[in-house]
Amino acid sequence: MKIHVNSNAQSTLCGILIMFYWHSLPTQAACMTVAEFSISELPKTDRRTPFRWIVSHISRHWWIVVLAFIGALGNAVLAAAVPVYTGLAFDAVLADPPDIDWLVTIAWLIAGSQILRGTLQLLRNFGAELVGQRIERDIREELYVSLLGKSMTFHNLQPVGDTMARATNDVREINLMFNPGLNLVLGSANFLIMPLIFAPRYHPALVLVPALYIVAYVLALWQYLHELSPITDSVRRSFGRLNTHLSEAIDGIEVVKGAAQEESEVYRFTQNASEYRDTYVHQGDVEARFLPLLLLGLAEAGAFLHALFLNQQGLIGIGEVVAYVGLIQLFGFPTFASLFAYSQVSLGMAGARRILELLERKTDLDRNPGGHAGEMHGEIEFEAVSFSYPDADLSLEGIDFHVQPGQTVALVGQTGTGKTTLAKLINRIYDVNSGKVLIDGIDVRDWDLDALRRQISIIEQDIFLFSRSLRENIAFGCPDPTDEEIEAAAKAAQAHEFIRSFKDGYDTVVGERGVTLSGGQRQRLALARAFLTDPRILILDDSTSSIDSATEDKIQRAIFRASEGRTTIIITHRLSQIRWADLILVMRGGRIAASGTHEELMETSEAYRRIFTRYEEA
């Protein structure tokens, strides 16, 4: 929705912002990027430039902007009323005899106008704050949904610390751009035009100094913003690097301490902090050379001399000189406010550019909501599949195999042969570079991604648990399970006994990533999570590697029972799991070196015999 308000103040404000941001920012493609996950109810935003993106967010709250503008305009008009009334008071005092009654009336008019001005100023401040908070909320939601929709390729390459810096501080900078940033810009823009409006009532020539000052102010502000923009970009980038290192150091604190590298990490952090400090100092240096401060002094002196000259010519009186000089003093607010407000706007736009860069970062996977969403039977087929990670050699090449529903497949081979990568192609964590992965005869890219992944469970060696209760962790991925279903899944995964040993049982809250649990306990919880979702395809990526031998037999039986009636892919070096697989694929150098049952491979594959013998010796 467009708002049309006939006001020179709005033209001044929009002109300054549009001149700087609209023409200086690069235009981006006006197309919607695909995403693995999206919420259709979220309002669409214009992402062609940061300026358009911000305006598209503002347009949803146009009525608040109108209220804020009314408050800003009324505040400026009533601020100009004070010097006008003061000039009238001077004339009343200089009258012979002094007009006391008129002086009392003027005093009441000043008091009443300033009470009303305070109310309107409150309306402006409240509107700016409300818009800022709402837009911060909307942008956080838009960014969070976008991050969830990005592919694993994006998340593997994007540093978590930098993402957190953008999602927290950069979003906050956009809020501050509205209040106090644009709040002061809007208010000061209205203050700028008051002398132009009221000065001609005393003498037409008195418009000269205000007009010259406004022209010089706009030109100086143009230069200031152009110089400030790359610096504020550097401020936000350096903060992102600082946060990235901090996140990595804390996430890898065990490695840091184990290698006694605390001192070197402190040095690296100090270097990043110094870079962040230096960019802020550079910004302060530019702000210290803010030219409009000098122009203000020249304008005040020039206006006073001009008014005195007209007074000597008998064209204006003393009261009008006082009123005119008071009107020129109104330039003080926009001049001093712009020193802070426009740097805050520049920081907000720098944050907007960084957030929009994340939002528009290309992802190779899409949700495909109109795709196939039927019940899965579990047939898997790879047809000439090849895959490589970005800027890397082929991880998989020429993969061909076929799995019937309900079969169990074991992937064996040395580390780095592509076993885990192959498994992640099944549920489209990644998409193939060439060839096809078929589920029930349908290319996985033609499936509705939600329907595909709901029917496939992957249990990885590195188990991730949320900082929530054990009950919530088990139920993750299964909507509204009953307590009985959760406990049945835990019992099947041999997790019920150790859960009951905790004081709060299933309501026990685990630490971040489940650090308060042992590796075996985390893996059993992951098994329980998978059992509860009842997937048609179950993928176990070395999921029993941290389980002790006393529990292993129970887990093996649980897995055996869980695999009945569903297709199971096992990546393991456990001989007991390899033996009972219906099909064993021997991976070597990203290819399938051999395939068959255990007995067949022991007879026909030298590579399998070597792997099997090594596992047996281990």
Per-residue pLDDT at 546:
54
Per-residue pLDDT at 32:
38
Q: What is the mean pLDDT of residues 241-263?
A: 81
Per-residue pLDDT at 156:
75
Q: Which residue has the tokens 């528009």?
A: 360
Contact 323, 84 (CB under 8 A): yes
What is the 8-class DSSP label of residue 27?
Answer: P
Per-residue pLDDT at 591:
92
Is residue 96 packed enough to be buried (19+ CB in 10 Å), middle (13-18) or exposed (0-12)?
exposed
Is the pLDDT at 234 greater than 70? The verdict is yes
Report the chain's mean pLDDT, rounded to a whole number: 83
Per-residue pLDDT at 513:
61
Q: Hey, how many other C-beta atoms are within 10 angstroms of the C-beta on 280?
A: 16
**Domains, the chain:** 10-30+44-359 (1.20.1560.10), 380-617 (3.40.50.300)
Contact 449, 365 (CB under 8 A): yes
Per-residue pLDDT at 391:
74
Structure tokens at 572: 């393991």
Is the pLDDT at 358 greater than 80? The verdict is yes
Per-residue pLDDT at 515:
67
Largest separation between any pair of C-alpha atoms in the chain: 125
Q: Residue 232 corresponds to which amino acid? A: T
- Summarised one tens digit per residue, pLDDT across range 294-330 is 888 899 999 999 999 999 998 999 999 999 999 999 9
Residue 262 to residues 65, 246, 366, Cα–Cα distance (Å):
51, 12, 42
* Residue 605 three-state SS: coil
For residues 64 and 129, give the distance between their C-alpha atoms in angstroms, rounded to a whole number. Answer: 10
For residues 412 and 418, give the distance between their C-alpha atoms in angstroms, rounded to a whole number. Answer: 10
Q: What is the mean pLDDT of residues 119-135?
A: 90
Is the pLDDT at 10 greater than 50? The verdict is no
For residues 183 and 202, give the distance between their C-alpha atoms in angstroms, rounded to a whole number. Answer: 31
Per-residue pLDDT at 11:
37
For residues 208 and 303, give the distance between their C-alpha atoms in angstroms, rounded to a whole number. Answer: 9
Give the pLDDT band of residue 40 (cuts 50, 70, 90).
Answer: low
Residue 438's φ and ψ, nearest 5 degrees, are -110, 135
Q: Which residue has the tokens 């949803």?
A: 60
For residues 220 and 214, give the distance between their C-alpha atoms in angstroms, rounded to a whole number. Answer: 10
For residues 173 and 180, give the distance between their C-alpha atoms in angstroms, rounded to a whole number. Answer: 11
HEC assignment per residue over 128-174: HHHHHHHHHHHHHHHHHHHHHHCCHHHHHHCCHHHHHHHHHHHHHHH
367 or 323, which is more confident: 323
Q: Does the bond joining 97 to the residue before it have cis omega, within 30 degrees of 0? A: yes
Sorted by sequence, the CB contacts under 8 Å of residue 426 that are 6+ apart come out as 380, 437, 439, 444, 456, 537, 539, 569
Q: Hey, how many other C-beta atoms are within 10 angstroms of the C-beta on 348?
A: 26
Q: Does the bond joining 180 to the residue before it have cis omega, within 30 degrees of 0? A: yes
Give the pLDDT band of residue 543 (cuts 50, 70, 90).
Answer: low
* Residue 261 three-state SS: coil
Is the pLDDT at 425 greater than 90? The verdict is yes
**What angle do helix axes 8-17 and 208-251 make, rounded to 10 degrees?**
40
Structure tokens at 165: 């810096």
